[in-house]
Amino acid sequence: MQVSDRKISVTNSTLSTLIEELGTECQNVITLIHQLQLPDLSDRQKAEILAEFLPLCNPSQRSLRRGLSDASC
């Protein structure tokens, strides 16, 4: 999958920051998926790569949730 950096014209600074952070998180996920697709990974290596997904999936650890109320999650 090819991902390109394309700037979105947004005048709201908070929304602009959230979009930028979302792009970074998406790139992190793509990188981890590519790592999982490498041949001959040991079970330990797979587990370590999968463990990297946990902070990406845990709302309390994502900066995208920063400043948003719990009701919006």
14-31 pLDDT, tens digit per residue, is 998 999 899 998 999 999
pLDDT at 6 over 90: no
Per-residue model confidence as pLDDT tens digits over 28-47: 999 999 999 999 999 999 99
What's the longest Cα–Cα distance across the chain?
47
9 has pLDDT over 60:
yes
Note whether 58 and 25 are within 8 A (CB).
Answer: no
Closest CA to 29 of 59, 11, 56: 56
Higher per-residue confidence, 61 vs 43? 43
Do 25 and 62 form a contact (C-beta atoms < 8 A)? yes
Report, as an integer, the average pLDDT of 50-56: 85
| The predicted structure's pLDDT at residue 53 | 84
Contact 55, 13 (CB under 8 A): no
